[in-house]
Amino acid sequence: MIGRVFDALRYAKHHDAGRHGEDLAHRFLRRNGFIIVARNYRLAAGDAEADLIAWEGEMLVIVEVKARSSEDYGSPDRAIGEAKRRHLLRVAREYSRKSGVSWEHVRLDVVTVILSDPPQVKLFRGALSTHS
């Protein structure tokens, strides 16, 4: 029973950090000229999600946000594996198709957030390949 409580608290803390990181990334992108059109966009099947979807000029940008309390174990973007990239590609394909955007105008970006004081937010344009 106590183990379940600790697991629930650990999940809640992780979820709060992720949500806070997404909030910071959202504000950062808006300050840098991005137009945010969706947040936590999930496919109908429910098995793939993009943290943020935005426009930067004529580019449709699918954004993965990775937040960590520190860089003690490396940069947060190292936590993005091939499975996550494939999920983001699926989201990008569906959203671009629904929006009528050609694939040449789609980009996969990563925003990393270190939850220090003050927070460190970095944008990596085109960090993930759009090729299958």
Q: Which domains does the chain have, with CATH numbers?
A: 2-128 (3.40.1350.10)
pLDDT grade, residue 3 (50/70/90)?
low
**Looking at residue 6, what is its pLDDT?**
47
Residue closest to 51 by CA, chosen among 79, 23, 11: 23
Asked whether residue 2 carries a pLDDT value surpassing 90, the answer given is: no
Contact 80, 93 (CB under 8 A): no
Query: Around Cβ 55, how many Cβ atoms within 10 Å?
Result: 16
Asked whether residue 94 carries a pLDDT value surpassing 90, the answer given is: yes
Model confidence over 14-67: pLDDT tens digits? Answer: 457 789 999 999 999 999 999 999 999 999 888 899 999 999 999 999 999 999
Question: Once rounded to an integer, what is the mean pLDDT over residues 79-104?
Answer: 92
